[in-house]
């Protein structure tokens, strides 16, 4: 099996339009959750969100894109992708090689255009501009066309764990030798569809989310995109290796359509499989970027699962306290943050934490910590329909 | 990767098997809906009531296989949109009640991974679980995922498949994008219609795949996919795909081609067929309509051919006397997403 390294990444989230800005906010403990400027929803008046600090039209102008039918999800994806490609120095030939895979993820796709979709669905629209923009794969199809991709193109939707599964799929294609490079990630914009969905489930918080706090009241929705460039040891040459993809696990909790079992069966199975695939012991993990949505159900089940898998809790945080829950983009944005922790050997504070959840009595990382020894970091993502995934990245040796 | 078992719910009577007695259902117009079986033994009534069609046909096709093969290690499905009807119902509520207090049922059902998740839940399967949603290549990615997983030697048997439902909403959206015919045509005449657009179908096809050839019906040798190819790419890639799999052109005994009667794009299939002079050609979109994961039906049809079952005349596009031991499936969705699947007898 080939070794797989991250050689570049691009991130756009509520805490910055590129990796550097995201890093600054993480180091300063500076959240991106707040009042929205662009979101069209009644909830914009009552709730706070992790909105990307650019309008849809300025995202488009920045990219110098003129195509019709582009949605915010598409534009977030293109923005993060452009940065990732630049960071890794991939050439156009490398990008369009048959041995380069592109694996992405989105849940809302073009459904962020709620009214337009409604009109198109009822044949009431005076334009056909967006007719092919709604599906979860619309952004990937555009990227395949613009970047002339000729390798495997895939889009995964396992709800909130989508992009972690996209990273896995890309890494597995490289490990098997079917690809020697993979561009992996995901994109989701804020939209009425998901906001109302989570509100209907009564897990949408008005105030900024409080991951791992005893008095947490629900999640804050966010938006964003991130892509990682994965390269096989065979083609990487002298390039900078930001991190190695060490292991991964995927499991289904098989308990409930929209919540995790108290015994965290799927969570434990995903983390255990990830450790096994990385040939690591629990004590080898120096940091966990937890799923930590700040819903009553997730955080206590996740703590239960970590306790069961690790016995002693490694340092952990939830960076959703900065970005909000970015759904299909969450896994890859949070893996990108884990890469930053590994590259800089530092840990970022989890925000809004006051009181530990009982009976676990665990406090996440609450202050910025430099000069840490972080050889291996785990990222967790769990989604509706029981989809649990866990990924381990390592400091390149 | 070997196929051990299969089920199919489609606009033909493929589930009960009377399709194989040559009883093909004729359709007129642009919508071919699934013939659904009696789910009494598969889905509890209390659950049925709340299920959307995608979930219903997905579980209806998948659960019997899970029951038959007790050691399924994971579930991998492909679907372009999953429960799209639930999605638009929820959208309706958002706008109708101006984002007021809504019930979450349709929101939960609308997520495309709900089908694979429901199958895992109903069978208490905690193994690998994934849902691919790259529109016309969702099923192909599912096959690739399964091939990788079996190669990684972590699992022995997997449930793989595809599911798609038609709702009036996605029909309307696709219609505005120019997907469908403007005049009604009989399904028997679809491939000769020589007009723009095709017809919409739906369905679910599921397979149990294994890395062992014991009791196998056939082998899925390999799958390849590409987006936005040029004309010459298809030729080059056909040849390199076959070469990579140590198969010569004249070893292909039959083609299953995705002809859908769209005068704009059926040339891709004619071009490919030109390279295979002495093969049987099967078509299937004249039986089940076109939809993003229709290619799962092509794999199902190939299984039936390998099993030596009686194939309805309507599925023969061209007949050859050659015995069928190796099949190449070629499909594209909306001119943009193309794929090959190579199958052979074990």
Q: Is A154 on the interface with B (CB under 8 A)?
A: yes
Average confidence (pLDDT) over B261-286: 96
CA-nearest residue to B339 within chain A is A152
Judge whether B339 is closer than 8 Å to chain A, CB to CB. no
With bands split at pLDDT 50, 70 and 90, how would you rate the model's confidence at B16? confident
pLDDT at res. B50 = 82
* Complex-level ipTM: 0.97
Residues B285, B257 contacting (CB under 8 angstroms) = no
Task: Tell me what pLDDT residue A127 has.
Answer: 80
Average pLDDT score over chain B: 95
Residue numbers of A between 345 and 384 with CB closer than 8 Å to B: 383-384
B173–A contact, CB cutoff 8 A: yes
Cβ distance B103 to A43 less than 8 Å, yes or no, reads: no
Q: Do A250 and B114 touch (CB under 8 A)?
A: no
Chain A residues with beta carbon closer than 8 angstroms to that of B124: 254
Q: Is any Cβ of chain A less than 8 angstroms from the Cβ of B232?
A: no
Residues linked to residue A250 through DSSP beta bridges, in sequence order? A389
Give contacts of A115 with chain B, Cβ < 8 Å: 95
> Between B114, B134, B148, which is nearest A155 by CB?
B134
- What's the pLDDT at B208? 98
- Å from B55 to nearest chain A CA? 12
Within 8 A of B113 by CB-CB distance, chain A residues are: 157-159, 383-385, 387
What's the pLDDT score for residue B87?
A: 87
Q: Kindly list the residues from chain B whose CB atom is less than 8 angstroms away from the CB atom of residue A192.
A: 94, 99
Peptide bond into A359 cis (omega under 30): yes
Does A41 reach chain B within 8 Å, measured CB to CB? Answer: yes
Residue A220 pLDDT level (bands cut at 50, 70, 90): very high
Chain B residues with CB-CB distance to A102 below 8 A: none
Residue of B nearest to A256 (CA): B121
Residue to mutate among A147, A196, A331, with most B CBs inside 10 A, is A196
| % residues pLDDT > 70 (chain A) | 100
Q: Do residues A104 and A187 make contact, with C-beta atoms less than 8 angstroms apart?
A: yes
Portion of chain B with pLDDT greater than 70, in percent: 100
CB atoms within 10 A of CB A145: 13
Tell me the nearest-neighbour CA distance from A285 into chain B, angstroms.
23
- Taking the CA of residue A27 and the nearest CA in chain B, the distance in Å comes to 35
Residue B95 to residue A115, Cβ atoms within 8 A: yes
Q: What is the mean pLDDT of chain A?
A: 96
Q: Which of residues 280-319 of B touch A (CB under 8 A)?
A: none
Q: Which of A52-61, A150-159, B36-45, B176-185 has the lowest mean pLDDT?
A: B36-45
- The answer to whether the beta carbons of residues A289 and A316 sit under 8 Å apart is yes
* Contact: B80, A387; criterion CB under 8 Å: no
Q: What's the pLDDT band for B231 if we cut at 50, 70, 90?
A: confident
Is the model more confident about A60 or about A119? A60
Q: What is the pLDDT of residues A155-197, one digit of tens each?
A: 999 999 999 999 999 999 999 999 999 999 999 999 999 999 9
Answer yes or no: is pLDDT of B234 > 90. no
Contact A118 B92 (CB under 8 A): yes
What is the model's pLDDT at position B232?
Answer: 80
Confirm if B85 and B167 have CB atoms less than 8 A apart: yes
How many angstroms separate the CA of residue A201 from the nearest CA in chain B?
6
Nearest chain B CA: its distance from A193 CA (Å):
7
pLDDT in tens, B146-171: 999 999 988 999 999 999 999 888 89
pLDDT of the residue at A326: 98
For residue A115, what pLDDT band results from cuts at 50, 70 and 90? confident
Query: Which residue bears the tokens 């995927």?
Result: A250
Residue A311 has pLDDT above 90, yes or no: yes
pLDDT at B328: 98
State mean pLDDT over A113-122.
Answer: 88
Is the pLDDT reported for residue B54 higher than 90?
A: yes
Interface residue A40 vs chain B (CB under 8 A): no
Contact B176 A131 (CB under 8 A): yes
Q: In this complex, which of B91, B113, B133 lies closest to A193 when CB atoms are compared?
A: B91
Asked whether the predicted pLDDT for residue B338 surpasses 90, the reply is yes
Main-chain phi, psi angles of B117, to 5 degrees: -65, -40
Give residue B17's pLDDT: 82
Pairing of strands A181-188, A100-105: parallel
- Burial group, residue A237, by CB count within 10 angstroms (0-12, 13-18, 19+): exposed
Is the Cβ of A46 closer than 8 Å to some Cβ of chain B? no
User: For position A330, what pLDDT does the model report?
Assistant: 98
> Least CA distance to B97: which residue of chain A?
A196
B318-335 burial, b if ≥16 CB within 10 A, otherwise e?
eeeeeebebbbbbbbbbe
- Residue A86 has what pLDDT? 98
Is residue A110 less than 8 Å (CB to CB) from chain B?
A: no
Cα angle at B323 between B318 and B327, to 5 degrees? Answer: 70
User: How many A/B residue pairs have CB atoms within 8 Å?
Assistant: 205
Tell me the CA distances in angstroms from A103 to A139, A152, A226, B34, B74, one per residue in order. 11, 8, 12, 31, 20
Distances in Å between the Cα of A173 and the Cα atoms of A14, A390, B267 are 31, 18, 32
Q: pLDDT tens digits, residue range B91-127?
A: 999 999 999 989 999 899 889 999 999 999 999 999 9
Domains and CATH numbers, chain B: 2-210 (3.40.47.10), 218-344 (3.40.47.10)
Say if B91 is an interface residue toward chain A (CB within 8 Å): yes
* Chain A contact for B87 (CB, 8 A cutoff): yes
- Sign of the C-alpha dihedral computed for residues A93, A95, A97 and A99 taken in this order: positive
Q: What is the pLDDT of residue B171?
A: 93
The answer for residues whose C-beta is within 8 angstroms of residue A324's C-beta and 6 or more apart is: A14, A32, A33, A49, A50, A209, A219, A220, A221, A222, A223
* Window 130-159 of B, Cβ < 8 Å to A: 130-135, 137-138, 141, 144-145, 148, 151-152
B175 Cα to chain A: minimum distance (Å): 9
Contact status of B321 with chain A (Cβ, < 8 Å): no
A 240-259 near B (Cβ less than 8 A): 250-258
* pLDDT above 90: residue B235: no
Q: Which residues contact A359 (CB under 8 A, 6 or more apart)?
A: none
Chain B within 8 Å of A385 (Cβ-Cβ)?
yes
Instruction: Dump the DSSP string for A300-349.
Output: HHHHHHHHHHHSSPPPEE-THHHH-B-GGGHHHHHHHHHHHHHHHT-B-P
Q: Tell me the shortest Cα–Cα distance from A360 to chain B, in angstroms.
A: 25
Higher pLDDT, B237 or B6: B6
Band (A122; pLDDT cuts 50, 70, 90): confident
Q: Would you report the helix, strand and coil content of chain A in percent, each value rounded to 5?
A: 35, 20, 45
Confidence of residue A43 (pLDDT cuts 50, 70, 90): very high
What domains lie within chain A, and their CATH numbers? Answer: 4-232 (3.40.47.10), 247-394 (3.40.47.10)
For residues A323-347, average pLDDT: 98
In this prediction, residue B85 carries a pLDDT of 85
pLDDT, tens digit, for every residue of B318-329? 999 999 999 999
From the candidates B112, B158, B237, B332, which should be mutated to test the interface with A, based on the most A CB atoms within 10 A? B112
Residue B84's pLDDT band (boundaries 50, 70, 90)? confident
* Residue to substitute from A99, A151, A177, A197, interface B, most B β-carbons within 10 A: A197
Does an H or E element contain A184, and which?
Answer: strand A181-188
| Cα dist from B47 to A258, A266, B43, B56, whole Å | 15, 23, 7, 10
Mean pLDDT, range B18-35, rounded to an integer: 94
Q: CB distance B113–A385 less than 8 Å? A: yes
Residue range B306-325: average pLDDT? 96
């Amino acid at each position: 099996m080939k070794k797989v390294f991250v050689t570049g990444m691009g991130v756009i989230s509520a805490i910055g339009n590129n990796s550097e800005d995201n890093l600054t906010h993480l180091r300063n403990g500076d959240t991106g959750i707040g009042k929205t400027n662009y979101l069209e929803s009644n909830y914009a008046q009552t709730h706070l969100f992790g909105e990307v600090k650019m309008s849809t039209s300025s995202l488009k102008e920045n990219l110098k894109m003129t195509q019709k039918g582009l949605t915010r999800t598409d534009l977030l994806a293109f923005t993060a992708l452009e940065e990732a490609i630049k960071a890794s120095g991939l050439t156009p030939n490398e990008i369009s090689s048959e041995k380069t895979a592109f694996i992405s993820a989105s849940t809302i796709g073009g459904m962020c255009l709620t009214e337009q979709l409604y009109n198109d669905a009822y044949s009431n629209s005076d334009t056909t501009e967006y007719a092919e923009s709604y599906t979860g794969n619309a952004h990937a199809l555009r990227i395949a066309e613009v970047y002339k991709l000729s390798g495997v193109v895939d889009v995964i939707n396992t709800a909130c764990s989508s992009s972690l599964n996209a990273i896995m799929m890309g890494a597995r294609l490289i490990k098997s030798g079917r690809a020697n490079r993979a561009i992996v990630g995901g994109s989701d914009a804020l939209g009425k569809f998901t906001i109302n969905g989570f509100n209907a489930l009564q897990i949408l918080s008005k105030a900024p989310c409080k991951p791992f706090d005893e008095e947490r009241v629900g999640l804050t929705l966010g938006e964003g995109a991130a892509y990682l460039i994965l390269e096989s040891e065979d083609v990487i040459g002298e390039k900078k290796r930001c991190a190695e993809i060490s292991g991964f696990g995927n499991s289904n909790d098989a308990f409930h359509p929209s919540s995790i079992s108290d015994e965290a069966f799927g969570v434990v199975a995903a983390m255990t499989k990830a450790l096994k695939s990385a040939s690591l012991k629990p004590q080898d993990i120096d940091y966990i970027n937890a799923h930590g949505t700040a819903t009553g159900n997730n955080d206590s089940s996740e703590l239960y699962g970590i306790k069961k898998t690790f016995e002693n809790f490694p340092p952990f945080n939830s960076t959703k306290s900065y970005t909000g829950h970015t759904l299909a983009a969450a896994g890859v944005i949070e893996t990108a943050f884990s890469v930053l922790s590994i590259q800089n050997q530092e840990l970022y504070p989890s925000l809004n934490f006051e009181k530990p959840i009982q009976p676990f009595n665990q406090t996440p990382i609450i202050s910025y910590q430099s000069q840490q020894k972080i050889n291996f970091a785990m990222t967790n993502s769990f989604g509706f329909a029981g989809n649990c995934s866990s990924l381990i990245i390592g400091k390149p040796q | 990767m070997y196929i051990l078992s299969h089920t199919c719910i489609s606009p033909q009577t493929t589930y009960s098997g009377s399709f194989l007695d040559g009883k093909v259902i004729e359709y007129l117009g642009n919508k071919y809906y699934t013939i659904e079986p009696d789910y009494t033994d598969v889905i509890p009534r209390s659950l049925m009531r709340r299920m959307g069609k995608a979930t219903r046909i997905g579980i209806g096709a998948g659960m019997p296989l899970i029951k038959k093969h007790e050691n399924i290690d994971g579930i991998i499905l492909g679907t372009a949109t999953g429960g799209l009807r639930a999605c638009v119902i929820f959208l309706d509520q958002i706008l109708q009640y101006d984002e007021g207090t809504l019930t979450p049922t349709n929101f939960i059902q609308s997520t495309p991974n709900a089908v694979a998740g429901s199958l895992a839940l109903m069978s208490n399967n905690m193994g690998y679980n994934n849902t691919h949603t790259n529109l016309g290549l969702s099923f192909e990615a599912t096959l690739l995922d399964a091939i990788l997983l079996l190669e990684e030697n972590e699992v022995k048997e997997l449930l793989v498949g595809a599911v798609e439902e038609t709702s009036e909403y996605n029909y309307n959206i696709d219609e505005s994008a120019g997907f469908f015919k403007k005049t009604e045509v009989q399904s028997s005449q679809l491939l000769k219609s020589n007009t723009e657009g095709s017809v919409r179908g739906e369905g679910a096809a599921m397979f149990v795949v294994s890395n062992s050839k014991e009791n196998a019906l056939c082998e899925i040798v390999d799958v390849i996919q590409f987006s936005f190819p040029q004309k010459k790419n298809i030729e080059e890639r056909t040849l390199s795909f076959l070469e990579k799999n140590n198969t010569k052109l004249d070893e292909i005994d039959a083609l299953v081609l995705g002809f859908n009667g769209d005068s704009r794009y059926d040339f891709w299939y004619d071009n490919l067929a030109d390279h295979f002079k002495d093969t049987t050609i099967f078509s299937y979109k004249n039986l089940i309509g076109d939809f993003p994961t229709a290619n799962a039906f092509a794999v199902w049809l190939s299984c039936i051919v390998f099993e030596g079952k009686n194939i309805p005349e309507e599925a023969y596009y061209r007949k050859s006397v050659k015995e069928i031991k190796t099949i190449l499936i070629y499909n594209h969705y909306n001119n943009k997403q193309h794929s090959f699947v190579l199958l052979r007898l074990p």
